[in-house]
Chains A and B, each alone.
Chain A
Amino acid sequence: MVLVENKEFSEKVKELSGEDVTLCFQCGMCSSSCPTAHLMDVTPRKMVRLIQLGKEEILNSKTMWLCLSCFTCVARCPKNIDLAKIGEALRQIRLRKGLDHVNISEIPKEELEKLPQIALISCFRKFTS
């Protein structure tokens, strides 16, 4: 029997993402498809596993902040699990507590002048509350 450590956390992810992580059988297609998996401390496959087990510690990993929302894992998952939505749910759990990942005042001025609106708005939508 597998014990779910924090059921409330798993349920919250399910509620925000609309995705059922229990469908995942840990094939690892998501991790092998991800363009930034090599930089993550927790791979996308493991991220799903930790949520299955109700391990809230996933919220301390870099994984959801390195997601590009490129939907490659979504296109390839054999169980049709939308990992992009799961990543967004994890980000939102943090952001809704006011814990921003990006601080505009820390971006150098010369970069701010160069960056197009499309980059700034999408970044703030993903990484700030």
Chain B
Amino acid sequence: MKIPYYPGCTLKSVAKNFETSALAVAKILGLELVELPRWNCCGTVFSLTTDDLMHQLAPIRNLIRVQEMNEKGIVENNYRLVTLCTMCFNTLKRSNLFVKKNPDKLETINSLMDREEDYKGNVEVYHFLEILREIGFDKIGEKVKNPLKNLKVAPYYGCLMLRPEEIGIDSPVKPTILENLIEVLGAEVVDFPFKTRCCGSYQTVNRKELVAELTFDILNQARMEGAECVILSCPLCDFNLDSRQAEVKRLHPNFKMMPVLYFTQLMAVAFGLDEKVYGFEFNYVNPRPLFMEKNLLKIGVETLKR
């Protein structure tokens, strides 16, 4: 099945590992994620003030691309837009909901875009995890060739795939979608109290110590519950929980680093896919030693050469 797919900026740079692993995993599941032609940055955050329509243009313009894909026959009657990045998901879905609830505002937004056809409000925004749930986790389990035995994985949801509730893909208080995935991949789920706690988000630019302290709490808590690695689905959470471990280490020299991966990387390992789609070279804390220790990587000649 062909589904319109919105990558977002960060998946084309520092989060390439998220995209390469996701596209490979999707293929195994019979899905073809078709990248929107001429997509633009969604703006990363949803505008929260009532009068700020200008910042709704960027997300809505991407939804118009989905309409076009259908009109041009690039996809067949598929008005579902899939995202991987949680922040893009949140922004696109909230903007979509905003214009559907406020037809007068949509009219204004449409009138501000001279060179675009009008957005008709017929697109639905999905997170890739929702598509996985729809396929069925038991079906996903059938594709597992390399069960992640003895691997203890903590799911980290963060904020934006769950909150606000009106756009969340799971319970804002007790989500289970990542747990369901971890289970069918053969790994052990590690529940921990900070799985929906914020990583510090954009404060990483101007208050990196604040983010480092939040990361310290989140990862320590996961480790205390027995986790060996953490999975997530947001490139900003990933930067804060993975790359910012350097800053954590500076502030807390006894801190023990922990691999942080995209959920699709974990799926790619469990599906036994070629290691080049994992994109481990983009992870700050190298997950390879952990997977080697658990005998989960095929140690081919190619791997040894690196």
Which residues of A are interface residues toward B (Cβ below 8 A)? 15-18, 35-36, 39, 66, 68-72, 74-75, 82, 84-85, 88-89, 92, 101-102, 107, 111, 114-123, 125-127
Contact = CB atoms under 8 A, between A and B. Distances in A.
Interface SS of chain B: helix, strand, loop or mixed? loop
Contacts of A120: 205
Contacts of A68: 159, 198, 200-203
Interface string B259-271: 0000000000000
20 contacts: A15-B50, A16-B49, A17-B50, A18-B50, A35-B198, A68-B203, A70-B197, A71-B159, A71-B164, A72-B197, A74-B163, A75-B162, A75-B165, A88-B48, A92-B52, A116-B15, A117-B9, A118-B8, A119-B202, A122-B236
B235 interface: yes
Contacts of B159: 68-72
Contact of B210 (A36, A82, A92, A121): A36
B206 interface: yes
Contacts of B202: 68, 119, 122-123, 125-127
Contacts of A69: 45, 48, 159, 201
A71 B206 contact: no
A122 B48 contact: no
A17 B49 CA distance: 5
Contacts of B164: 71, 74-75, 82
Interface of B: 8-10, 13-15, 41, 43-45, 47-52, 55, 85, 87, 159-160, 162-165, 172-173, 196-198, 200-206, 208, 210, 214, 235-236, 239, 243
Contacts of B197: 35, 70, 72
Nearest to B200: A68
A16 B51 contact: yes
Nearest to A89: B49
Contacts, number: 122
Given A74-B164, A118-B85, 12 more contacts: A15-B51, A16-B49, A18-B50, A68-B159, A69-B45, A72-B197, A74-B163, A75-B165, A115-B239, A121-B43, A123-B203, A125-B44
Contacts of B47: 88
Contacts of B15: 116
Contacts of B14: 116
Contacts of A75: 162-165, 172-173
B9 A125 contact: no
A88 B163 contact: no
A18 B164 CA distance: 16
Given A119-B239, A127-B206, A71 B163 contact: yes
A123 B211 CA distance: 13
Contacts of A88: 47-49
Nearest to B239: A116
Nearest to B207: A66
Contacts of B44: 118, 121-122, 125
A72 B163 contact: yes
A88 B164 CA distance: 15
Contact of A122 (B45, B49, B163, B243): B45
A75 B208 CA distance: 26
Contact of A107 (B9, B43, B205): B205
B214 A117 contact: no
A85 B236 contact: no
Contact of B201 (A89, A101, A107, A122): A122
Nearest to B204: A119
A116 to B, nearest CB: 5
Contacts of B48: 17, 69, 82, 84-85, 88-89
Given A69-B45, A125-B55, A118 B243 contact: no
